Amino acid sequence: MPTSLLDAATQERDLYKTARDNARSSLGTAQAALAAARTQLSAALALLQNLEEQIAAGRAKLAVTTVPSEAAVLLGQIAALSVQHRQQQAEVLDARATQGAAQAKVASTQSTLELASARLSSAEAKLQKATQEDSRRLALKTAVGQAPLVDLRTAATNVLTGVGSTLYADAQSKFASSVIPTKLWDLAAQRYTLWADRLKQARKAVDEAEAQAATLRDTNGGLPGKAEKQGVSFRLAERRLTEYALTANDRYTRAVTLLQKIAQPTNSVLTAAEITDVQDDLTDRNAAADLEKALNTAQSTVDTRQAAYDDAVLAAYAKDPNDTDVSDDAGVQAAKVPLDSAKSTRDTAAGKLGTAEKATLLDWASVVPDAAWRQILAFLEATTLLTEIKDTPNTLVADLTTAETTYATALIAAAKDAYSLAFLENAIATRKAMLETLQADQPTRLLSAIRGDGI
């Protein structure tokens, strides 16, 4: 069983190399057999012709003889020659059948050789690519196990929790409630999360579509379909490892740099006057913020359930793309109920956030200059980057190795199955050719058979 795609590519190359070598050997044997069959047929035809000439000569003598005893002898000779002639006809038929089978065998073996040679060429190209890809994955796996990546999760955790450094707390203090009111800060963070989650859901939608396609191939596509399904899992695991190996350190560096800029002692997010303005009239502003917070919470639920509903609709259409109405699909109906409930809750929350409350929130936000909003965004981005690194599973390498082994096993099984099918298609062609030969000789063969010419 292959443990990697390189193993699978090597085994596939070896499969077709062996097939090509065997086909070459078989072709030589088949060609020799065909040559022998042709010689046998030529000899049988020559003997048949000789017997026909002897019979013709005997009949010519019989036509002119006037001596009864000589006529009797000639009739006996002609009768004996006629028996031999029929037997030789059977030999000719057998020789023709042998030659036909030999010709079909040569054609079949030649076709097998061409097939194996073509697939070997393709397999060698795939092996070359697999070798390069294997080296690339090995480099990524090695990088993840070495500094700085091997310690990056811990480093991100330490920054967020303040172990060994007060950087995160120092940056966070710039947005203390005495500067940015708590509910305005919470609202900004919630808005950020809402839109960040939508990007995640869009990525998940792509993964879900790929997974549905893979499931369909697995169900209806035989071994190639099963391999493709495993390929989806493999590519997902590979993408996760690749993204972490190639971007995690840069993301960590960016997060720390953002925090360092914010945490500078000389940095003030707001001026004293701006702080006074933003802290003013908190009763109405906080009340409006609570209403939007409820709306955003409800909208987040709608987004999640909408994604689930869209996946259900996609699955329903996948069953029959020509179906113009999938509302009666069980999966669609099951996903629609919670979606409708979430939309109802969202609409109720939206109705409570009136024009006056929206104006209050917009006025509140306008007190904070764009430079401050950019610092808030930078802090939220840094927090997200560090959290993503911290939460990255430490099984990326193991997950990829497992997925690759499963995928490689499925690929080599599919390759063997494909070659077996091609082999059987050649066998079908060979047997059809033999059938055609037998059908062509059948009328003569039956007459010869019932006379017992071949005994």
Share of the chain above pLDDT 90, in %: 79
Global pTM reads 0.82
> What pLDDT score does 72 carry?
92
> What pLDDT score does 446 carry?
82
Q: What is the pLDDT of residues 220-255, one digit of tens each?
A: 778 888 998 999 999 999 999 999 999 999 999 999
Return the higher-pLDDT residue of 129 and 437.
129
What CATH number has the domain spanning 12-141+422-451? 1.10.287
CA distance 155 to 451: 96
Compute the average pLDDT of residues 319-335.
93
Query: Which of 258-262, 299-303, 447-451 shows the lowest per-residue confidence on average (mean pLDDT)?
Result: 447-451
> What pLDDT score does 342 carry?
98
pLDDT of 329 above 90? yes
> What pLDDT score does 54 carry?
95
Task: Show the CA angle centred on residue 208, arms to residues 202 and 212, nearest 5°.
Answer: 150
Q: What is the pLDDT of residues 148-189, one digit of tens each?
A: 999 999 999 999 999 999 999 999 999 999 999 999 999 999
pLDDT of 391 above 80? yes
Which has the closest alpha carbon to 18: 114, 144, 116, 84?
116
Task: Show the CA angle centred on residue 198, arms to residues 195 and 199, nearest 5°.
Answer: 95
Q: What is the pLDDT of residues 332-350, one digit of tens each?
A: 999 999 999 999 999 999 9
> What pLDDT score does 453 carry?
72
Contacts (Cβ under 8 Å, ≥6 apart) of 313? 326, 329, 332, 335
Query: pLDDT grade, residue 101 (50/70/90)?
Result: confident
Q: What is the pLDDT of residues 261-280, one digit of tens each?
A: 999 999 999 999 999 999 99
Contact of 293 with 187, CB cutoff 8 Å? yes
Q: What is the pLDDT of residues 109-158, one digit of tens each?
A: 999 999 999 999 999 999 999 999 999 999 999 999 999 999 999 999 99
pLDDT of 455 above 90? no
Query: pLDDT grade, residue 431 (50/70/90)?
Result: confident
CA distance 84 to 81: 5
Average pLDDT over all residues of the chain:
94
Compute the average pLDDT of residues 64-74.
90
Query: pLDDT grade, residue 217 (50/70/90)?
Result: confident
Query: Cα–Cα distances in Å, from 173 out to 81, 123, 268?
Result: 120, 61, 10
pLDDT of 3 above 80? yes
> What pLDDT score does 210 carry?
87
> What pLDDT score does 221 carry?
79
The domains of the chain are located at 12-141+422-451, 149-301+355-410
pLDDT of 449 above 90? no
Compute the average pLDDT of residues 295-324.
94
CA 430 from chain centre, in angstroms, equals 34
Q: What is the pLDDT of residues 90-100, one digit of tens each?
A: 899 889 889 98
Compute the average pLDDT of residues 398-414.
96
CA distance 133 to 362: 52
Compute the average pLDDT of residues 36-57.
95
pLDDT of 444 above 80? no
Place of tokens 């701006």: 274
